[in-house]
Amino acid sequence: MTEQPEALRLADWAASYSTTMHNKCADELRRLHSVNAELLAALKDMHSGWKYIRETYGDLYGVGWDRAQDKAEAAIAKAEGWT
């Protein structure tokens, strides 16, 4: 069974009140949920390419490989509920 994301559950709850403000909140939660999904997919794709470049060509001095990779991995883990 797949659990509905909290943002979408809250959007459904807000929309059930049928007021202008609740509907605006619901729309914004749905929009942000969609944008977050797109950003997460882009970050995962970038991370995959980043790892390939490092494994194939090695590190380039001054690029900040570890710092960038650590931040990307932490963001992916947080978005997927691993932390």
pLDDT in tens, 4-63: 889 999 999 999 998 999 999 999 999 999 999 999 999 999 999 988 988 898 877 766
Total domains, the chain: 1
Q: Does some domain include residue 33?
A: yes
Q: Per the domain annotation, does 75 fall within a domain?
A: yes
41 belongs to a structural domain: yes
2, pLDDT greater than 70: no
Query: Does residue 1 sit within a domain?
Result: no
Where b means 16+ CB within 10 Å and e means fewer, 20-43 reads eeeeebbeebbeeeeeeeeeeeeb
Count of CB atoms situated within 10 Å of the CB of 60 = 10
Q: What is the pLDDT of residue 24?
A: 94
pLDDT for residue 74: 93
Greater confidence (69 vs 13) lies with: 13
Q: What is the predicted pLDDT for the residue at 83?
A: 63
- Structural domain harbouring 64: 6-79
In a domain, 44, yes or no: yes
47, two tokens = 């991370």
Q: What is the pLDDT of residue 1?
A: 46
